Amino acid sequence: MSDRTVIETAGLWKRYDDIEALRGLDLRVPHGSIFGFLGRNGAGKTTTIKVLLGMARPTRGEARVFGLSPFEPHSGVDIRGRVAFVSDEKDLYDYMTVGEIIAFTRSFYPRWNSNLEQQYLRKFDLATGRAIKGLSRGTRTKVALLLALCRGAELLILDEPTSGLDPAMAEDVLQALVGHVAGEESTIFFSSHQLNEVEQIADHVAIIERGQTVVSGPLDELRAQYQRIQLVFDGEAPDIRVHAPGTHSVRRKGRVLTILSAGGGTAVVDEVRGYRPASIDVTPVTLKDIFLESVKTED
Amino acid sequence: MLWHKAWLETRWRFISALLILTVLAGGNVYDYIAAQRLLPRLNATTTTPAAEATGLGDALREAIELQKNFRGFIWYQAFRQNLTQMGVFFAILLGCGGLLSESSKGSALFTLSLPVTRRRLLGARAGAGLAQWLAVSMIAPLSIPILAPSIGEHFSIVDALAHGLCVFFVGAVFFSLASFLSTLFGDIWRPLLIAIGIACGLAIVSFASPQLAIFSVMDGESYFRNGTLPWAGLLTSAVLATALLYSAAETLERRDF
Amino acid sequence: MILLKPNPSSGVPIYLQLMEQVKHAIETGALKAGEQLPSIRPLAEELVVNPNTVAKAYRELEHEGVIELRQGAGAFVSDTATTKRDAEKLKAAKVLVAQGIERLRARGITDEEIRRLVEAELAGITEGKRRE
């Protein structure tokens, strides 16, 4: 992974009529990374992707892919010639067959790899004669992925690549993605609700909430930063304030007090020892914990 | 392969247009047989006082006179009625659709992610569509010279093609109108109905003021009456169609998906 | 040599899990000195993990002297004696751990509690339950 950024946004705003979908989004996706883009429904993930691909124009702020602007006609075409996009719905032309849409897509990408095409047709068990109209969601996803992986793209932008897929197919998809990054010197930017999958293959993540980035960085570093400290008391847990720096949240339920800390675990433990809990446990935090904490509304 | 995609998207409309207009025009040839028997019985006393008052009476009398021979009959029925009226409808139909309507089917995002400009997307769609409209407007009239001999009449191929050209140019304006409306609305109904509405409005207007008689360009009236193609009308149509397509391209460029 | 699929949600970074697996394989003799490890790409594909993660695990293992990365040839278990010494140490440690676990179980402590005690102890902050 180099220091080059493949995707970069700065203070990105996007307003659709009355709705502010993006409110000052900052994003940096390093070259060669597998970047997980997380957020609740409606947080702005799909809007971000649309802006990056030149499908929607930003209201304010900057967005660059390969250092180029997606909304100038020429650089937009340049970018899209080096990018592969798979949408959330995986909609394709239902008046074509699998073979026809492959031929159609291939005509736009001079770096198309026919060997990979054959490989994926076999691996995904796709028959070229089948009409796209009758395909199941899983099969459509595989076709869409094949179209994305064979074109020699430097950047894959995937919106929920495994949604609606059974675990076996989802694993096939993840495997294809992992293989692609290893072999092709490319970057993958994908949004997903499947946090365990993101933890499995992503090396960087960003969490967005209401159009803004709330968490961003290398996944290992993020996980190492956060710790969950659980205190059990003999009686009702006291309603305390934790002053140690890095304390993210304190939750009280019955006899249990749970503290989420970003980088300040030992300081927290030192502070709460004074309250004489019956036990203190420090447990590692999963991406799901970080996600749920980050997207809580600040009420 | 964008043209191929456009073809796949509109092929059934194209085939319907071609078949229906060809059958209508060809059918008019055979209508002449019945007309021949009927028309001589119609004369000046068949109009009403109201019709006389509005001047419609003169129009009716002229219509009857014209259609007493094959050439006039064909001009009146095939070119003035069927190919103009149904022609406008099919030109509009062929012009509808495009990127926005793909939106409702979802594949718009796939198309927009291709390394082509939106201008090129529209250009391919419009190009394929106009090629189809050209084929329809030139082929349908040819059924007349081909079938006329079977009832012992004659119609020149050059005349058929000349009329076809008029149908094409004016139809192209409506095609482009539908294309432009299709960049404003994503569903298929609004562009279709609005364009038809505008066509009807124009029909009414041209009734009132003959200078704006766009449809007499379409039916090639000047060619029928004195052998000259309506060059001014054809040129205006070409300019209008181009302007509408240009507007469509600009609208599409600014659109957020 | 078969590496098990790492658990992404265990809280332990995947690269650490991989490193542990390699070291364990060396201890138990599944991987011998001088033997070649799978290349990064096929291993990443097989385990369905990020190739950068595999690369990181290999780099750290090289840094610790456990393996050698030879330019163009691949990753090989190093010949160094430290691995053997570590293996001896770990064998002894394993016995201690097994004994400790047996003793705790004999007292009626469940495996889950044992695991938590160990983790908390490692994090350095357990206080015993003040129940008798």
Residue B162 pLDDT level (bands cut at 50, 70, 90): very high
Residue A150 pLDDT level (bands cut at 50, 70, 90): very high
What's CA A289's distance to the chain center, in Å? 16
Assess whether pLDDT exceeds 50 at residue C132.
no
Does the distance separating the beta carbons of A77 and B256 come in below 8 Å?
A: no
Does the distance separating the beta carbons of C120 and A282 come in below 8 Å?
A: yes
Assess whether pLDDT exceeds 60 at residue A261.
yes
The pLDDT of residue B53: 65
Does the distance separating the beta carbons of C125 and A269 come in below 8 Å?
A: yes
Q: What number is the ipTM of this complex?
A: 0.88
Spatial separation of the C-alpha atoms in residues B70 and B130, rounded to whole Å: 31
Asked if C50 reaches chain A (Cβ–Cβ under 8 Å), the answer is: yes
Residues of chain B in contact with residue A87, where contact means CB-CB under 8 angstroms, are 106, 109-110, 113
The pLDDT of residue B46: 57
Query: What does the mean pLDDT of chain C come to?
Result: 82
Spatial separation of the C-alpha atoms in residues B199 and A285, rounded to whole Å: 67
Spatial separation of the C-alpha atoms in residues B180 and B126, rounded to whole Å: 10
Assess whether pLDDT exceeds 50 at residue C131.
no
Residue A59 pLDDT level (bands cut at 50, 70, 90): very high
The one-letter amino acid code at C48 reads V
Q: How many CA atoms lie within 13 A of A146 on its CB side?
A: 30
Assess whether pLDDT exceeds 50 at residue C129.
no
Closest CA to B221 of B83, B82, B75: B75
C-contacting chains (≥3 CB pairs under 8 Å): A
User: What is the chain A residue with the closest CA to C14?
Assistant: A200
pLDDT (tens digit per residue) in B125-158 = 999 999 999 999 999 999 999 999 998 888 999 9
Among A81, A87, A93, beta carbon nearest to B115:
A81
DSSP letter at A28? E
Asked if C11 reaches chain A (Cβ–Cβ under 8 Å), the answer is: yes
Spatial separation of the C-alpha atoms in residues A70 and A76, rounded to whole Å: 4
The pLDDT of residue A102: 97
Assess whether pLDDT exceeds 80 at residue B243.
yes
pLDDT (tens digit per residue) in B90-124 = 999 999 988 888 877 679 999 999 999 999 999 99
The pLDDT of residue B125: 94
Does the distance separating the beta carbons of A55 and B117 come in below 8 Å?
A: no
Residues of chain B in contact with residue A103, where contact means CB-CB under 8 angstroms, are 1
Q: Which domains does chain A have, with CATH numbers?
A: 5-210 (3.40.50.300), 222-294 (3.30.70.250)
Closest CA to A20 of A53, A43, A54, A52: A43
- Our CA-based measurement puts residue C120 at a distance from the nearest CA of chain A, in whole angstroms, of 6
Among A183, A200, A220, beta carbon nearest to C48:
A200
pLDDT (tens digit per residue) in B185-211 = 888 889 999 999 999 998 888 877 766
Query: What does the mean pLDDT of chain A come to?
Result: 89
Percent of chain B with pLDDT over 90: 54
Mutate to test the interface with C, among A1, A177, A187, A201 (most CBs of C within 10 A): A201
Does the distance separating the beta carbons of B107 and A56 come in below 8 Å?
A: no
The pLDDT of residue C84: 59
Residue A299 pLDDT level (bands cut at 50, 70, 90): very low
DSSP letter at C118? H
A-contacting chains (≥3 CB pairs under 8 Å): B, C
Does the distance separating the beta carbons of B113 and A83 come in below 8 Å?
A: yes
Percent of chain A with pLDDT over 70: 98
**Which residues of chain B have a Cβ shorter than 8 Å from any chain A Cβ?**
1, 4-5, 8-9, 105-107, 109-110, 112-119, 253-254, 256-257
B-contacting chains (≥3 CB pairs under 8 Å): A
Of the ranges A29-33, A61-65, A81-85, B76-80, which one carries the lowest mean pLDDT score? B76-80
pLDDT (tens digit per residue) in A188-220 = 999 998 898 999 999 999 999 999 999 899 998
pTM value?
0.84
The one-letter amino acid code at A118 reads Q
Asked if A89 reaches chain B (Cβ–Cβ under 8 Å), the answer is: yes
Does the distance separating the beta carbons of A55 and B257 come in below 8 Å?
A: yes
Residue C35 pLDDT level (bands cut at 50, 70, 90): confident
The pLDDT of residue B63: 78
pLDDT (tens digit per residue) in C66-124 = 888 888 888 888 876 455 566 677 788 888 899 899 999 988 888 888 888 888 777 66
